[in-house]
Amino acid sequence: MLDYQSVREKKATIQDLVKGLTKDDLRRELDEMVGEIHRRIADATDADIVFQPNDPKANDPFAKEGEAEPAWTLGYVIVHLTASMEEAASISQELARGVEFHGRSRWEVPFREAKTIALCRARLAESGRMCSASLDMWPEPPHMDNTYAAAPGALPHTPVSRFASGLKHASDHLEQISEIMRQAKS
């Protein structure tokens, strides 16, 4: 799996990290990421999915009014990171097909519905399938020159870097998943 630490530490950009990767490389990275998340929740039960962890750093500036929780449950983390991977994959395939960026493409399972390990495992499998399918929508050759900047002054995303940004976001939650599991099992 790609090591995103240099990107987190701002020693490299995601564009630099993924330079030269192909859609087959991205598919392998996706499979590894989904597999890693499955491994981290292998022993989870329904009680672990809704367990309210202690997270002193919990802060979601994008939470909708009335939906900010003190700390995210494991179910919340799973539905959030799968929605982020799917959004990145969706935008990536549009860029690869030459479609001009036209805004976000996101839907997230309401976190309060994420109450069972069965739902979380199904959500991971479905998300992996959908993200993989998005790579099948890339033409040959993909429009790698079709880019967009997510914010003013940001480096532009290519189809590869946008897809990988969803995987990076998922990797940002791996330690959180492990910590929630540790707390839930203690």
What's the pLDDT tens digit per position in 72-115?
999 999 999 999 999 999 999 999 999 999 999 999 999 999 99
Q: Does position 57 have pLDDT exceeding 90, yes or no?
A: no
Q: Does position 65 have pLDDT exceeding 90, yes or no?
A: no
pTM summary value: 0.94
pLDDT value at position 67?
A: 62
pLDDT value at position 66?
A: 63
Q: How far is CA 127 from CA 12, 30, 62, 63, 81, in A?
A: 28, 10, 22, 22, 9
pLDDT value at position 59?
A: 72
pLDDT value at position 152?
A: 94
Largest CA distance in the chain: 51
Residue of 119, 175, 171 whose CA lies nearest to 4: 171
pLDDT value at position 58?
A: 78
69 or 156: which carries more pLDDT confidence? 156
Angle at alpha carbon of residue 39, lines to 174 and 10, rounded to 5°: 25
Give the residue extent of every domain in the chain: 5-58+72-185
Superfamily of domain 5-58+72-185: dinb family like domain (1.20.120.450)
| Mean pLDDT value across the chain | 95
Confidence of residue 56 (pLDDT cuts 50, 70, 90): confident
